[in-house]
Chain A
Amino acid sequence: MKQKALRSNRIWSIVMTIVCVIYMYPIFMVLMNSLKVESAISTSTAFDLPNAETFAGLANYENAIGSQGFLLSLFYTAFITITSVLAILIFCSMFAWYITRVNNRFTKILYLLCAFSMVVPFQMVMFTLSSLADTLHLNTPWVLWIIYLGFGAGLAVFMFCGFMRSVPIDMEEASMIDGCSPIQTYFYIVFPLLRPTMISVAVLEAMWIWNDYLLPTLILDVDKYKTISMLIQFFRGSYGRVEMGPMMACIMLAIIPIIIVYLVGQKHIIKGVVSGAVKG
């Protein structure tokens, strides 16, 4: 019986290995082609490995980094993601604490509005939001976090509230009786307790903001500022004849930082996704 189970497990291992190799193939194909010279990339040769003749080294990468302002885009994307996530973590957790601890009609309405905003598709607000952002001069990467704080608040508040309901109020009461102001109570008592939820929220929001395409495209001044997603779309869309080599290199360059972050923080990311999947 045990032997049989062992053998079936080994078979499953092999099956899954094969499936995983197939699963990774699309990324591998882009990597392979990004190392070829331009003339060797066509629909009939795309599946071939680069050989001595077609191997281009890192020329495509140099090309992509050099000509397209790639580094600047990387900086903008990183800046927008980091500022937005920090703002969401600090402000939304404070907001969530207030609306779970103060019970009145106003906070109940706020909570429902936040839950509602999670479901509403972006297309509903895209036009009005971009014109409002123009009027308020929120159309630069430096202040884009305000928009993300507003539009990303729903999910964050929802998750923080879910967690805070399960935290007993006694500790906070004790600290207030000992003379802490609400601000001190929040930062000394509540804030440290929130760490696991903070990680989940940070992971989910960062995944969304880093990869977001439509919101920055509509709000930022496209000629001046491009995030990575915008850059790739621009790369693809603006030329009559697409240069495949640099395009592939650009895709790889967009993926590599994500994969590094993922491999380093895998445990947190997966935990974040699991606890982010709270019941709606």
Chain B
Amino acid sequence: MQRAIKKYWPIFVLPTLAAFVIGFIIPFVEGVYLAFCQFTTVRDATLIGLSNFVRAIGDNTFTHAFWYNCAFVVVTTIAINVGGLLVAVILTKAIRGTNAFRTVFFMPNLIGGIVLGYIWQILLNCVLSLLEKPLLALDATAGFWGLVILMCWQQIGYMMIIYVAGLQSIPDTLVEAAEIDGATRWQTFWKVKLPMLMPSITICLFLTITNSFKLFDQNMALTGGQPAHQSELLAYNIYYTFYGRSGPQWRGIGQAKAVIFCVIVVAIALIQLRATRKREVQQ
């Protein structure tokens, strides 16, 4: 059978492969190469070795964006997963209106980042001005927490859906057995349900961490990096380096930043997957 299918590769493989080469492989390889060049367009690149990387790391806005992004990832990952799990636990109780609640919590997910960013910008600015505090664009701390609230609002519903599915797949017999053995509810949750949820937790952690690291639209719409690059996440910092700055050196530096960013994201994804995979319980 294998041999028969193999002959048909132009039909099965070629369309996707061609698009994949155009949409991913060529830009990726070219991108890695350009990180070592000075260029304004792809054609006029000249190799200049590692100096782009040196300058990228020396760029204060980039290192600031890195730490700002790390803090953001930690806060949002914890908040979203705790929030999502909490809502999921409540919604799997036999309460009335579960479906309606689920609908409401999930809805913000379907709205695009740009739109969400503006909705919250309007709302938060109104709240801040009522409290007589500086607006989002003037205060990096407010921008940070605004972004955290926005992300939680958007993502809790998504993670909740995954946790609900996880909780529902735990066999009742296990929970009953624990109860008969005299476990309290609290113990059942920590010792029985949570270990059984490990696969869901793996995927939710993976999603929240990578989402928060790659966040762009919301960052751009909510604060636009104001004030003075203080609320920039990495993705927006790279975008700004490319398209917001003039001078022939910046594109190369931007590409070098992008390579560093890519390595960080891939490394974190791998470490995280390996770390949580170990803790999963075999069913």
B partners with A: yes
Q: Which A residues lie at the B interface, using CB under 8 A?
A: 9-10, 12-13, 15-17, 20, 23-24, 26-27, 29-30, 33, 43-44, 46-47, 87, 91-92, 94-95, 97-99, 101-103, 110, 113-114, 116-117, 119-129, 131-132, 136, 138, 146-151, 153-154, 157, 169, 172-173, 176, 181-183, 186, 207, 210-214, 228-229, 232-233, 236, 244, 247-248, 251, 254-255, 258-259, 261-263, 266, 269-270, 273-274, 277-280
Residues of B in contact with A (beta carbons under 8 Å apart)? 1-2, 4-9, 11-13, 15-17, 19-28, 30-31, 34, 41-42, 90-91, 93-97, 100-115, 118-120, 122-123, 125-126, 129-130, 153, 158, 161-162, 165, 199-200, 202-204, 206-207, 210, 213-214, 216-217, 220-221, 234-235, 238-239, 242, 251, 254-255, 258-259, 261-262, 265-266, 269, 273
Nearest-CB residue, chain A, relative to B169: A274
Which chain A residues lie closer than 8 Å to B259 at the CB level?
124
Q: A182-B8, A270-B106 are in contact. List 16 more A-B contacts (CB 8 A).
A: A9-B94, A13-B96, A23-B105, A95-B13, A101-B1, A124-B31, A126-B239, A128-B26, A131-B42, A149-B16, A213-B217, A236-B221, A247-B118, A263-B103, A278-B203, A279-B199
- Are A207 and B262 interface neighbours, CB within 8 A? no
Contact A125 B28 (CB under 8 A): yes
**B contact residues around A10 at 8 Å (CB):** 95-96
Please state if A251 and B115 are interface contacts (CB–CB under 8 Å). Answer: yes
Q: Which residues of B contact A153 (CB under 8 A)?
A: 16, 19-20, 23-24
Which of B102, B114, B199, B261 is the most central at the interface, judged by chain A CB atoms within 10 Å of its CB? B114
Chain B residues with CB under 8 A of A211: 110-115, 217
Most chain A CB atoms below 10 A, which of B34, B113, B259: B113
* Residues of chain A within 8 A of B161, CB atoms compared: 270, 273-274
Q: List 27 A-B contacts (CB under 8 A).
A: A13-B96, A16-B91, A30-B122, A43-B126, A47-B126, A92-B16, A95-B13, A99-B13, A117-B24, A120-B28, A124-B258, A125-B27, A125-B28, A126-B242, A127-B34, A127-B255, A132-B27, A146-B22, A169-B1, A210-B112, A213-B113, A213-B217, A213-B220, A232-B118, A233-B221, A254-B115, A274-B162
